[in-house]
Amino acid sequence: MDAVIFKGPFEVAVERRPKPEIIEPTDAIVKVRVSGICGSDLHAYRGHQKTEGGYIMGHEFVGTVVKTGGDVKVFGPGDNVVSIFSPCCMKCWYCLQGLTNRCTFGAAFGFKALDGGQAEYVRIPHADGTLRHAPTGLDDPLLIMMADIFPTGYYAASRAIEALHTQKLSRLTSFPKDSSTSTDLQSLTADSVLVCLGCGPVGICAIAAARSKGIKTIFAVDSVRDRLDEARDLGAIPLQLGADDIGEHVRAATEGRGADGVIELVGNQEALRSAFDLLRPAGVLSSVGFHQADLPFTGLECYLKGLTVSFGRVPVATVFDAALECLKENEKALRHYVTHELPLAQAKEGYQLFEQHKARKVILCV
């Protein structure tokens, strides 16, 4: 079969590889229809994440089940599916806690440990936990968002909003004069001011999710004009890095306090420091960016700000249903999000376009 192989920094190639076979009875084989190129593929592509080459790339894919192992109960040949970006067994302690991103058997598709889905076929470990039946009415360019970027954006936004909700709830518990006030998440957090740092694909999904959850004021920060246009179309206030005074805009919207929450999706020290500086005292930071360096704030700064911060990636299986509902609500706005549909053979060009910000989202059609 044809497969996209990572050769080294800025080098991918379509090569012939053997078709994958069932290894464990919990495996399934999926014939891939469409595979996405994700921002996190660029960590390896750009050489930021050191990794030996030779494996099949890609952790976003949709397709059809063609073969299943003897222990697969939920799926069978012919099923139209989307895969979560890393396997989850749904049986280990972490999966049973809903921390499916920490599954004992977890290993992201598209790295050395587990071949990915930018290929004609892909082997799915723990298929019953890892796959999801494709919902009717969602075409592939939207469906593929459910493999990673939409749940990731949804989670990044939800985590910030839930932390603000918890903060607000404690006030209501102690000041019962407000007992007529609704305690639901949307009522309590709608007036919170959020900043989304980074408006690539995940940022766009985070903004869509935050809007669906009722947040009225979201500042969208990026350097790429096209991304800011997309963010504006979703109802965010675009601010361009290098052109706009981000802090000034955020302070003007908050009587000088700073943002209630920041969603950080960039993954470098500068972005994380901006996030910290943009937050008001006791603000909340949801960081999904893949950070490699030291944290750019001291213990004293964290103490004095009263910071709450969450790091790390999404448990897709746990948020899947809620995220899917949210994606459907935003279907119209996200319908044209995929700007480039290329044949698998043009994977190299796809990576180049995406890496150079010449494409919003690239998918490879097998």
The residues binding its own copies (CB under 8 A) are 93-94, 96-99, 101-102, 162-163, 166-168, 170-175, 255, 257, 269, 272, 281-282, 287, 289-295, 297-300, 302-313, 315, 317-322
Q: Which helix (H) or strand (E) holds 1?
A: none
Q: Which helix (H) or strand (E) holds 164?
A: helix 149-174
What is the token pair recorded at 231? 């963010």
43 or 357: CB nearest its own copies: 43
What is the token pair recorded at 37? 């190129």
CB of 319 to its own copies, least distance (A): 7
201 or 267: CB nearest its own copies: 267
34 or 205: CB nearest its own copies: 205
CB of 246 to its own copies, least distance (A): 21
Please state, in angstroms and rounded to a whole number, the distance separating the CA atoms of residues 177 and 365: 59
Of 264, 270, 142, whose CA–CA distance to 202 is shortest? 264
Residue 330 sits at the vertex; the CA angle it makes with 187 and 287, to the nearest 5 degrees, is: 65
35 or 130: CB nearest its own copies: 130
Please state, in angstroms and rounded to a whole number, the distance separating the CA atoms of residues 213 and 225: 25
33 or 313: CB nearest its own copies: 313
CB of 291 to its own copies, least distance (A): 3
Query: How many other CB atoms are there within 10 angstroms of residue 317's CB atom?
Result: 21
CB of 162 to its own copies, least distance (A): 6
Of 50, 42, 4, whose CA–CA distance to 149 is shortest? 42
Of 229, 25, 7, whose CA–CA distance to 220 is shortest? 229
CB of 282 to its own copies, least distance (A): 5
CB of 70 to its own copies, least distance (A): 24
End-to-end Cα distance, the chain: 11
Phi, psi of 153 (to 5 degrees): -65, -40
Establish how many alpha carbons lie within 13 A of residue 49's alpha carbon, considering only the half-sphere containing its beta carbon: 15
97 or 186: CB nearest its own copies: 97
4 or 316: CB nearest its own copies: 316
Pair type for strands 217-222 and 237-240: parallel
Residue type, 218: I
CB of 266 to its own copies, least distance (A): 11
CB of 299 to its own copies, least distance (A): 3
317 or 344: CB nearest its own copies: 317
